[in-house]
Amino acid sequence: MWKKLISEILQSEDYTIERIAEDVGVTGSCIHRIIDGRTKQPSYRIGTRLLVLHMRVRRDCYGQLPAPPLPANCHERSRFRAKRDAS
């Protein structure tokens, strides 16, 4: 399911893996792990943000449902990225 959501976001051609990662608040390697199948069950936070992003990008899949706003602080860097960048 998650692999398909990411694939459909990428098909919009407005998003790259790096941009998806930035909007979701994770690293590109985290998104790659989901695509590769190494991460089959992302955390609730990541899953929610991927779903909201998919709803915003692929409005045609959801009919008249309004896309919810991205969760608060979704553009903040993850703790992992902040530690990595500080090194």
Rounded Cα distance between 41 and 13, Å, is 25
pLDDT band, residue 86 (cuts 50/70/90): low
Rounded Cα distance between 47 and 5, Å, is 10
pLDDT tens profile 19-63: 999 999 999 999 999 999 998 899 999 999 998 898 888 877 666
pLDDT at 50: 92
Kindly report the pTM of this predicted structure.
0.67
Rounded Cα distance between 29 and 18, Å, is 9
Q: Could you tell me if 32 and 22 are in contact, meaning their C-beta atoms sit under 8 angstroms apart?
A: no
Residue type, 42: P
pLDDT at 12: 85
Residue type, 34: I
The structural domains of the chain, with segments of one domain joined by +, span 2-86
pLDDT at 1: 85
What CATH number does the domain located at 2-86 have?
1.10.260
pLDDT at 59: 73
